[in-house]
Amino acid sequence: MQLIKNINVKMDYGRYKLFIIGLLVSTVINAQDLTPDSSTFSNRMIYGGNLGLSISDNFTQFIISPEAGYMLTPQWRAGLGVSYEYFKEQNLGSIYRTNVYGTRVFTGYDLVNLEKIIPSLIATHINLHAEYQYLYYENQLHNRIENNRKFGGQSIHNVYVGGGLRQYFSPKSSAAVLILWNLNYKDYLPEANPIIRVGISF
């Protein structure tokens, strides 16, 4: 199973920088062969997702993003995910709400085993990551002063590339810290660029 939690520098509207902090589940280091069992399809499957919540006086944000992947080789993984995000912001008599629905395709590859260079970095790899993400924003703006509402929708295509470090605890259990850049970033997007992703998989 894979449990990925993101720390995304989110919702930067000139005044806010919202850090979505995921809950990391601890695992025990297992000093065994770090090669996944390839005897069955299920042993190569990884599952998990992303869950985030942030609340303040002026805004509320909730994210859920389950995913499933497959270990093509001991170093190479790929998978699919879906996501839902709710965001609400109150500002100067207006209330902005959006429901965001998304899908994504991702892949990651362990490029270099740093333990061979620095023995103290046990089972730590330089990891490369690439991801395509499609999001649909369902927007609603309520002006309480003028008592009117505006509705709209928008499609966003994000392409993330980057990398970081992944340390293995067992054949499939690992922790990773990644920095990802959005190659299709626009100034109006409700996130900073790059984003930082921290996760654990098992």
pLDDT of the residue at 1:
43
The H or E element that residue 151 is part of is strand 148-168
- Work out the angle at residue 198's Cα, subtended by the Cα atoms of residues 2 and 167, and round it to the nearest 5 degrees: 70
The CATH number covering residue 194 comes to 2.40.160.20
Q: CA–CA separation, 96 vs 76, rounded Å?
A: 41
pLDDT band at 151 (very low <50, low <70, confident <90, very high): confident
Identify the domain containing residue 13 by its residue range.
Answer: 2-201
User: What pTM was computed for the model?
Assistant: 0.72
* Peptide bond preceding 171 in cis form (omega within 30 of 0): no
- And the tokens for 132? 């395509």
- pLDDT higher than threshold 90 for residue 92: no
How many domains does the chain divide into?
Answer: 1
pLDDT tens across 13-44, in order? 333 333 333 333 332 233 334 445 556 888 88
Residue in 56, 70, 47, 49 with CA at minimum distance from that of residue 19: 56
